[in-house]
Amino acid sequence: MNDQSQFLTPFQRKLLLKQMQIELRPEYRRRIEIMLLADDGQSQTEICAMLGCSQETARHWIGMARAGRAHQWDDCPVGRPQVINDQYVDRLKELVNRSPRDYGYPFKRWTAQVLSKHLANELGIDISNRHINRLLKKMGLSTRSSNTGEVANLSRTKNFGIAIRDLQPASSIASLLPISSVQMSH
């Protein structure tokens, strides 16, 4: 190891070295090793020979370290995404159409993150928040609705392209409108 770091900050280097102490999947360990070796001044070719990785892999993780993104070594999932089955989709739809409180959560609205974790615990399939949102959109559903009844109504009205919700009584709407010229003349 060189005394002079090539591009990692002392904090990043310490973080990566600390991560090497825990048990990691081999692919994640290799990412960290690539960045540490590159930071020590090893060339891409030398790193590939030492670790038995492809030029593309070495180039990518050396670039991440140079860009100051070494802390993101675990952001990119390894391998192919897990396959979502019909049971998963049906359960997702069921959850979104009910309140999270029915399942012991203290909040009124689902988030993609909570749905993802809940389904991972229940069904053993762990997918990203973005994938949850894609699935919901495909089904005409969303976590952004204020209540579960509204979510169900949105899915039924999606073909019409319009949804009317939370209508106010006429008297309260009038109070929100700007003062008309008739009122001003009095």
How far does Cα 117 stand from its chain's mean position? Answer: 11
2: phi > 0 → left, psi -120 to 50 → alpha, else beta; which? Answer: beta
CB 84 within 8 A of CB 57: no
What pLDDT does residue 181 have? 45
What pLDDT does residue 24 have? 82
User: Residues of the chain whose pLDDT is less than 70?
Assistant: 1-3, 76-82, 145-186
Distance CA 44, CA 41 (A): 9
What does pTM read for this prediction? 0.43
